[in-house]
Amino acid sequence: MSAKAGEIDVRGKLKHDEPMSKHTSMRVGGPAEIYFVPADIEDLQHFLRELDRDVPLYWFGVGTNLIVREGGLPGVVIAPMKMLRDLEREDHLVVRAGAGVPCTQLARHCIRWGIGPAEWFAGIPGTVGGALAMNAGAHGGETWEQVESVKTIDRSGEIHVRKPDEYAIGYRNVKGPEGEWFIEATFHFEDGATASTETLNAMLERRKRTQPLGLPSCGSVFRNPEGDHAARLIEASGLKGYKIGGAEVSEKHANFIINRGEAVASDVIALIEHVHDTVLRKHGVDLVREVKIVGEDRR
């Protein structure tokens, strides 16, 4: 017999009415009805097996490309990334990485092992799980180019091993079996990678110079349209520095929206819509949003 989230005995942490503004990089968002941080994979499996199937479920990474509306998220938010941190070299060219491994950490280890190409992973601000979910990329590389297999977990707590051909993979877009979430990936790299720690550090320094890393943001807001850059179109529309409430189009990188400290989710969403509509009107380009917007409007 299934149970409500608050009735399940777990070894991890179950928090009620947890503000998502504490967990997203934009620092906005209403509360999660239940916020679950599992102790380990067995704890997670037990929770999923016991949970009532009618309870809404949301899988949460590190919130680098996420905006939660002010009404929050009903049901359960599962935040497992702290436990999914295994990173090991399984074979000469094969690396196994948990979904919670920061992409920068994956890049540094591959350089140390002399395999690649992997240094471009340092350009992704999130984790392996988030990179898998959206086929994240940077500096000409894309996540799924190196994927040999993935492990997922479904709503019943069952673990599956999947191959790339079980997914439809595109630019910043991945579609696979419904109701499954990534928990691990196995990557196959090439021998004799020429990248170095100096190359990686230069990439990180460039990112620091060109992106507003010192302020809360949600990363790149829009995908780059074919043959162009969203940032160029936004800047050409005269939108750098444009504000709605506490949300502002970054002067440093036009495809970033920053929180000046007092922004709420509705400010950010309104600004995203304004940028989209202005670029469409001035340039005829229908920008596709990269950031995800979830949750309910404030009641």
- Confidence (pLDDT) at 137: 83
Domain count, the chain: 3
Residue 105 and residue 53 in one domain: no
| 220, 237, 248, 250: the active-site residue | 220
- Confidence (pLDDT) at 194: 61
3-class DSSP string for the chain: CCECHHHCCCCCEEEEEEEHHHCCCCCCCCEEEEEEECCCHHHHHHHHHHECCCCCEEECCCCCCEEECCCEEEEEEECCCCCCCCEEECCCCEEEEECCCEHHHHHHHHHHHCEECCHHHHHCCCEHHHHHHHCCEECCEEHHHCEEEEEEEECCCCEEEECHHHCEEECCEEECCCCEEEEEEEEECEECCCCCHHHHHHHHHHHHHHCCCCCCECCCCECCCCCCCHHHHHHHCCCCCCEECCEEECCCCCCCEEECCCCCHHHHHHHHHHHHHHHHHHHCCCCCECCEEECECCC
- Examine residue 205 and state whether it is found in any structural domain, yes or no: no
- Confidence (pLDDT) at 192: 63
Residue 66 and residue 160 in one domain: no
CATH code of 73's domain: 3.30.43.10
- Confidence (pLDDT) at 1: 35
**What are the pLDDT digits (tens) for 262-298?**
999 999 999 999 999 999 999 999 999 999 999 998 7
- Examine residue 149 and state whether it is found in any structural domain, yes or no: yes
Domain finish residue from 78, 110, 129: 78
- Examine residue 243 and state whether it is found in any structural domain, yes or no: yes
Domain finish residue from 78, 101, 135: 78
CATH code of 282's domain: 3.90.78.10
Q: Which parts of the chain have pLDDT scores under 50?
A: 1-2
Query: Is 156 an annotated catalytic residue?
Result: no
Residue 216, domain extent = 212-294
| 85, 89, 162, 172: the active-site residue | 172
Query: Is 172 an annotated catalytic residue?
Result: yes
- Examine residue 299 and state whether it is found in any structural domain, yes or no: no
Domain finish residue from 54, 78, 102: 78
CATH code of 121's domain: 3.30.465.10
